[in-house]
Amino acid sequence: MLAEGEWLVVVGYFDPLTAKQAKRLANLKNGRRVLVLVTHKDNALLPVEARAVLIAALRDVDRVAVAKGGSESELPVNAHVQTIADLDEDALRTREFVKFVLERQHTT
């Protein structure tokens, strides 16, 4: 599948998928096809399959896959496939989301 055309593979937890992340995926597309590889995470807010379904609903995402163990290291490396994997930044977005929700709970 990744052998044809220009692809961008975005690896992440997407736990949860936020509007900011959806906008980021749209901005990254830039004429390429986008494959999102959803990775497993300890203590996730949502199961990996649920996160994959949510991402699949985005118009700028062409394919979604769920990582098996360390499968992100098994992605093809060639001139037509660019991979973005910033799991630390993704984990930070999750912490910020949880903090935001908890703060909202305490102000109401």
Lookup: tokens for 30? 């830039």
Residue 2 above 90 pLDDT?
A: no
**What total of structural domains would you count in the chain?**
1
CA distance 18 to 48: 15
39 alpha-carbon distance from chain centroid: 8
Q: What is the pLDDT of residue 20?
A: 87
**Domain housing 88:** 7-107
Helix H, strand E, coil C: the string for 55-87 is HHCCCCCCEEEECCCCHHHHCCCECCEEEEECH
Answer whether residue 91 shows pLDDT above 60: yes
In a domain, 48, yes or no: yes
Residue 21 exposed, middle or buried by CB count within 10 Å (0-12, 13-18, 19+): buried
CATH code for the domain in which residue 80 is found: 3.40.50.620
Residue 75 confidence class, pLDDT cut points 50, 70, 90: low
Q: What is the pTM of this model?
A: 0.83
More confident: 3 or 41: 41
In a domain, 38, yes or no: yes
